[in-house]
Structure 1
Amino acid sequence: MAASVQGGRTGNLPAEANTFIGRRGELAEISGLLGITRLVTLTGPGGVGKSRLALRAAHAARAGFPGGVWLVELSELRDPDLLTNAVAQATRLTEQTLRPLLEAVGEHLTGAPLLLVLDTCEHVLDECARVVHELLAGVPELRVLATSRQPLGLPGEQLLTVAPLPLGERDDAVALFAARAAAAVPSFALTEANRAGVAAVCARLDGIPLALELAAVRLRGFPLDRLLEGLDSRFDLLVSPARPRLARHQTLRTAIGWSHELCTPLERLLWARLSVFAGGWDVEAAEFVCHGGPLDAEEILALLASLTEKSIVTRDGEAVGTRYRMLDTVRSFGAEWLAGLGEEGPVRRRHRDYFRWIARQGEAEWLGPGQRMWAERLTSEHANLRLAVEECLTSPDPEAALELAGSLWYFWFACGFTEEGRGYLERALDRAPEAGGPDHTLAVWAHRLVTVVPDDLEAAESVSAAYVWLAEERQLLVPALPLTGASLAVRGESARSAVLYGTVGQAPAGDGGAEFFQLLTLALQAYLLAGQAAFERCATVAERLRADCAKRGELWMRAWGDFFVALAGIGLGHADEALLSARAALIAKWRVHDRIGAAAVADLLVAAQATRGEEELAARLLGVSRRLWLTAGLPQLGRPDQTVFHREYERRLRAALGNARFGEAVREGGELDPEAAIALALGGVPTDLDL
């Protein structure tokens, strides 16, 4: 069963922010091209509407792609080497695999027909071409819709050049301007009396959608005739007698520049400084990164509101969860202005330092009641964290990259970004191979931690050894972790794992890393005891782990305590009690975005329900489990037909249900979207249950 088969799920397309206007011909042409070719690229200058057209076309195409329509937004990506990671994350593939990630992505996408939308490819064009070429070669069911200022240059690529909107008084440009003007100024209406004036504004802006939308907002401060006069005078300054018409890209830049001139000096300064963010930001980040000189931190919230009203900045969410972002073309204008001010270096360093502080705060508070908040916050700041790490990697001080990449161990390890974290840690360590000191040791340990998988005993031994160094550097009184024994247990070598198991020590309070290591040691002890079928002892250790985590309000590791309590309960024949613990584990794992953990818990739920006599439900959950393991992308556990667990329960459930009903139930479970799958596994228990 392919992980990309989503049943009723249409993928990850965001809702459209406002009404789509026009482009009927282009939409029909895209639909037709997707039916006869596998790669369609929308090309054209910035601001012409490629991204919005692709999103509308993708929404319209959903019915034809039962495997889902998946949007990969590349505008915030700075490092081409992370493009495959971006595709994996957008398509819900966890990165925890030692196989080449692109190979895992291809396997993940194989199955039902699906559409991959790659938006804004031009700045990572060569890597886009490579990845698309390999995916199309390896996934016959795949179609790709790309947007780029340049073609990808691949065989079979079909190009559609996106032109500005038609300019007649009853054409799309006028309709778009009128719709956006009415949204900005509710009293505005398109009438026969003002239609010619609106058409003149549209003509002056060459029908470029972004320019039209920026100009429409100006009606808040200007009547239509004054708006047209302002455009005329602004554009005349840039038109030479020998060149009476502006090129379209210059038209857009001039429209953005006019919006810039109409901002106050402090709004312009904030616009420029905000250009250093990738993806988006919240108010706290803007206050830290953008304050200084004439711009006080206390003024930034009001200035953000003003820039939002002028459509320079867009706002997502409300109150505490509010985030802001800028369109790429607007951001680029701000970045050029920032460079002209000579502030690019200092503001980028403040951005880097802010996210270094965020990473350290997250590490210190990870094992506490704020864990879910930190998982969500760091996931939302992923693009900015990448940018901060990249900035550290170009810093003259190699310690900066070691410290940031190492202090994010919990993000790489627990939130599903091991492949990316491994790459950053390797680059940081390559820059400072002999650095020594706590930051270097932490980076070494973190690198080896995110490298551990069941197949890699050498890596497990390295993690244990590296932790001894880290404990010495941080003056922690914790024994080496028995990760080698854990790896053997996963592979079914329980006898050898028992020999390599060590005792559990006490760690001093007050250090987030030390607490994590203590809890991880308990989890591994429970793991090894379960592998040896010592279920009563396993339950005792797991209960201690749960209690220690509960004291801290911690979720991620506590869920492993629930997992092992449930596993021991199944081993002891207490299926009803095991079901309750397994569901608690699943809620916690889902809250902190741990898909590996969710897949492991799903296996337990299969066992619990089968033991309780709920064979049909167990078979559907077996389909859910297979889907989750495939999504997680692990090399062994991600192939259900090769695992002892899945073979054994397939045999039992086939015998109970018969081949036909068993196969149908597994298929039903495997085709559920993630939210429906979790709901099935929880049996109606809400995922926001207070644990």
Structure 2
Amino acid sequence: MAASVQGGRTGNLPAEANAFVGRRTELATIAGLLGAERLVTLTGPGGVGKSRLALRAAYAAQSGFPGGTWLVELSALRDPDLLVNAMAQATRLSEQTLRPLLEAVGEHLAGAPLLLLLDTCEHVLDECARVVQELLASVPELRVMATSRQPLGMPGEHLLTVAPLPLGERDDAVALFAARATAAVPSFALTEANRRHVAAVCARLDGIPLALELAAVRLRGFPLDRLLEALDSRFDLLVSPARPRLARHQTLRTAIGWSHELCTPLERLLWARLSVFAGGWDVEAAEFVCHGGPLDAEEILALLASLTEKSIVTREDDGAAVRYRMLDTVRSFGAEWLTGLGEEEALRHRHRDYYRWIARQGEAEWLGPGQRMWAERLSAEHANLRLAIEECLAAPDSEPALELTGSLWYFWFACGFTEEGRAYLERALSRATRDGGPEHTLAVWAHRLVTVVPEDLEAAESVSAAYVWLAEERRLPVPALPLTGASLAVRGESARSAVLYGSAGRAPVGDGGAEFFQLLTLAVQAYLLAGQAAFERCATVGERLRQDCAKRGELWMRAWGDFFVSLAGIGLGNADEAVSTAREALAAKWRVHDRLGAAAVADLLVAAQAARGEDELAARLLGISRSLWHTAGLPQLGSPDTTVFHREYERRLRAALGDARFATAVREGRELDPGAALALALGGMSEGLDL
């Protein structure tokens, strides 16, 4: 979908975790700046409330941005080169594009006024400045709001320094502390009798919101007067005389350090070890990475609950999985303690090895009933996977990076991250110290696989040989692999691809990649048969693909079997059956987050509904299809001239409806939000899908 109509709402802003307090003057200033300026940067130290203020301002501004208000969280991003990928992901643009990704993002964001919120830019400052400058130049409707500990430093940037909250007894600092104290201790109430003590606590903490929130939680164990005494007697645990800090930073670190001091030794140890995660973690990850020494894996869940109670850790429950995260300032504090404990390197390696294991587990189980779970799990762990890959790439031995980036072939190829995967694979391969080993062959194979969609045909032509090497290393049967033919087929060069296409061969056993290529062989065969109008044979091959996938409980490739069975049904005059099967394909593609596949199936539904005589519905579906292709950043599979039925049915719909009705129906389809679009396309089958 276009950026202006994503998700049934205008943008991707998360729900606010608790009530927003104060900052009326700042909010009014930001509203004025966003109305007049194109780049607004909120600056200030960590913990002063930049992110929360920006999020509240973005919420307040939503009505003025019909193109959406989009949050891009950058705190977990370690590689500046992935900044544009993060923007594409946040704004729901597939990476599967033949053009430079920044160009595709710019086109994706164009069309209506919209606001891009870049949160936590200071560690990727130069790349942020470069990308923002290019986007502002290419997208006139775009406004950008950034949060950073220092300015982006580019022309046209308007700065707002976020100060601590005012400290008077009737001011925002007291109001925030009281609100958070009441949430932590429901019996607490701000009264005239205790207001002076609350104001003194706020003054001791300089009105820094994060410090106030951490201190408010301490009321669970301290009366208010004791809380004030404790703050007065504490000092910044990590400040070195040789490295003096700004007073505001010292105050914040004093508050965090005091929370740290009030934790048990095991809670402190877990806090330090959790700092190696990026973006969040689940219980299994914490147990694997953080256990050891005095900390047993069986204790970690209870300790996580305790750290959550103390507001060190935030618990997130989306109904399907429970994950945890820490604020960056809190994480940084833990990371310094981890370094002080001498455990930093060991924990980074354990984190790396856990995500290597996760990648291998996902590969082994991808072609099975857990496919949707793995697509969602790896999407949630994306920041940690990136961190693990960077750790592998920094190691003197090249094999871990080759193995990890190669093992993730299914994530790169099927879940919409081909460009990112290709870049990581190229970095891993460039460091390889020897050719021919299993890890090197795996990475070569994965790299060639992700070139089936991009234009690098010469690279794609070596995938068969690369896979033969891999199969020989693993002592697997070697089927004939049609990857060169597939690369040609998706460009519409059916004649050349038919010549290069080989027989399906026997399905190898025991390796996810080998099974995948066996299934891909059938998919390419069905594609070529459809291009030759051999619909009965196409249906037979498509049905075999469906059955082979059904035996494994597999969704992603089975949906391509549904696609070809439906396509053959149109060719054979079975339009009702074609609609039903295409809807099954679309639902499956949506479940595993394959937006490119969903766009291809939407095209098929246009043809199927038109074949049934549902001309106006077909025209609306054509609008949905165009929007999906725009999001994917690709033309239709093959050139538009060779896409089966596409040109014929557009011509037929124009003739049946007339130019005006046709244009209106297409526009209505294109402007639907994804939930409504999917419901229309699936005809009631969308219940239970995560929209």
- Which whole-Å CA distance do the structure 2 matches of 1:290 and 1:36 have between them? 49
SS at match of 1:152: coil
Note if 1:590 corresponds to 2:590. yes
Q: Which residue of 1 aligns with 2:431?
A: 431
Alignment of 1:428-467 (within 5 A): 428-432=428-432, 434-453=434-453, 455-467=455-467
- Which whole-Å CA distance do the structure 2 matches of 1:560 and 1:433 have between them? 38
Q: Which residue of 1 aligns with 2:22?
A: 22
- Which whole-Å CA distance do the structure 1 matches of 2:157 and 2:689 have between them? 49
Q: Which residue of 1 aligns with 2:310?
A: 310
Q: What amino acid is aligned across from residue 405 of structure 2 in structure 1?
A: A
- Which whole-Å CA distance do the structure 1 matches of 2:508 and 2:481 have between them? 16
1:436 Cα offset (Å): 2.1
TM-score by length of 2: 0.96
Asked if the contact 2:591/2:689 (under 8 Å) is kept, the reply is no
SS at match of 2:41: strand
Q: What amino acid is aligned across from residue 382 of structure 1 in structure 2?
A: H
Q: What amino acid is aligned across from residue 475 of structure 1 in structure 2?
A: R
Q: Which residue of 2 aligns with 1:95?
A: 95
Q: Which residue of 2 aligns with 1:677?
A: 677
Q: Which residue of 2 aligns with 1:215?
A: 215
Q: Relative to structure 1, is the Cα distance of residues 118 and 177 closer, same or farther in structure 2, using a 3 angstrom cutoff?
A: same
Q: Which residue of 1 aligns with 2:515?
A: 515
- Which whole-Å CA distance do the structure 2 matches of 1:456 and 1:562 have between them? 28
1:480 Cα offset (Å): 3.1
Asked if the contact 1:575/1:612 (under 8 Å) is kept, the reply is yes
SS at match of 1:452: coil
Q: What amino acid is aligned across from residue 504 of structure 1 in structure 2?
A: A
What per-residue deviation string (whole Å, max 9, x for no partner) do you get for residues 362-383 of structure 1?
Answer: 0000011111111111110000
Q: Which residue of 2 aligns with 1:169?
A: 169
Q: What amino acid is aligned across from residue 175 of structure 2 in structure 1?
A: A
Asked if the contact 2:215/2:255 (under 8 Å) is kept, the reply is yes
1:515 Cα offset (Å): 1.2
Q: Which residue of 2 aligns with 1:322?
A: 322
Q: Which residue of 2 aligns with 1:551?
A: 551
- Which whole-Å CA distance do the structure 1 matches of 2:237 and 2:415 have between them? 53
Q: What amino acid is aligned across from residue 579 of structure 1 in structure 2?
A: V
Q: Which residue of 1 aligns with 2:402?
A: 402
SS at match of 1:250: helix
Larger displacement relative to structure 2 (432-441 or 538-547) = 432-441
Identity of aligned residues (%): 87
Q: CA RMSD in A?
A: 2.3
SS at match of 1:451: coil
Asked if the contact 1:7/1:67 (under 8 Å) is kept, the reply is no
Larger displacement relative to structure 2 (488-497 or 620-629) = 488-497
1:659 Cα offset (Å): 1.7
Asked if the contact 1:636/1:643 (under 8 Å) is kept, the reply is yes
- Which whole-Å CA distance do the structure 1 matches of 2:562 and 2:330 have between them? 49
Asked if the contact 1:3/1:630 (under 8 Å) is kept, the reply is no
Q: Which residue of 2 aligns with 1:471?
A: 471
Q: Which residue of 2 aligns with 1:284?
A: 284
1:641 Cα offset (Å): 10
1:648 Cα offset (Å): 3.7
Alignment of 1:301-380 (within 5 A): 301-317=301-317, 321-380=321-380
Q: Relative to structure 1, is the Cα distance of residues 116 and 406 closer, same or farther in structure 2, using a 3 angstrom cutoff?
A: same
Alignment of 1:69-84 (within 5 A): 69-84=69-84
- Which whole-Å CA distance do the structure 2 matches of 1:411 and 1:461 have between them? 22
Asked if the contact 2:5/2:674 (under 8 Å) is kept, the reply is no
Q: Relative to structure 1, is the Cα distance of residues 299 and 222 closer, same or farther in structure 2, using a 3 angstrom cutoff?
A: same
SS at match of 2:234: helix
- Which whole-Å CA distance do the structure 2 matches of 1:96 and 1:163 have between them? 42
Alignment of 1:640-659 (within 5 A): 646-659=646-659
Asked if the contact 2:85/2:95 (under 8 Å) is kept, the reply is yes
Q: Which residue of 2 aligns with 1:271?
A: 271
Q: Relative to structure 1, is the Cα distance of residues 577 and 26 closer, same or farther in structure 2, using a 3 angstrom cutoff?
A: same
TM-score by length of 1: 0.96
Q: Which residue of 1 aligns with 2:66?
A: 66
1:581 Cα offset (Å): 0.6
Q: Which residue of 1 aligns with 2:152?
A: 152
SS at match of 1:70: strand
Q: Relative to structure 1, is the Cα distance of residues 191 and 640 closer, same or farther in structure 2, using a 3 angstrom cutoff?
A: farther
Question: What are structure 1's unaligned runs of at least 5 residues?
Answer: none
Q: Which residue of 2 aligns with 1:526?
A: 526
- Which whole-Å CA distance do the structure 1 matches of 2:227 and 2:640 have between them? 64
Q: Which residue of 1 aligns with 2:422?
A: 422
Q: Which residue of 1 aligns with 2:561?
A: 561
SS at match of 1:83: helix
Asked if the contact 1:67/1:114 (under 8 Å) is kept, the reply is yes
Q: Which residue of 2 aligns with 1:142?
A: 142
Q: Relative to structure 1, is the Cα distance of residues 78 and 246 closer, same or farther in structure 2, using a 3 angstrom cutoff?
A: closer
Which stretches of structure 1, 4 residues or longer, exceed 6 Å deviation after superposition?
Answer: 236-240, 638-644
Q: Which residue of 2 aligns with 1:537?
A: 537
Asked if the contact 2:237/2:257 (under 8 Å) is kept, the reply is no
Asked if the contact 1:465/1:480 (under 8 Å) is kept, the reply is no
What per-residue deviation string (whole Å, max 9, x for no partner) do you get for residues 566-606 of structure 1?
Answer: 11111111110001110101111100000011000000111
Asked if the contact 1:166/1:172 (under 8 Å) is kept, the reply is yes
Asked if the contact 1:375/1:411 (under 8 Å) is kept, the reply is yes
1:649 Cα offset (Å): 3.1
Asked if the contact 2:526/2:538 (under 8 Å) is kept, the reply is yes
1:99 Cα offset (Å): 1.9
Q: Which residue of 1 aligns with 2:12?
A: 12
- Which whole-Å CA distance do the structure 1 matches of 2:642 and 2:24 have between them? 49
Q: What amino acid is aligned across from residue 622 of structure 1 in structure 2?
A: L
Larger displacement relative to structure 2 (227-236 or 176-185) = 227-236
Question: What are structure 2's unaligned runs of at least 5 residues?
Answer: none
Asked if the contact 1:3/1:628 (under 8 Å) is kept, the reply is no
- Which whole-Å CA distance do the structure 1 matches of 2:510 and 2:275 have between them? 38
Asked if the contact 2:3/2:68 (under 8 Å) is kept, the reply is no
Asked if the contact 2:448/2:460 (under 8 Å) is kept, the reply is yes
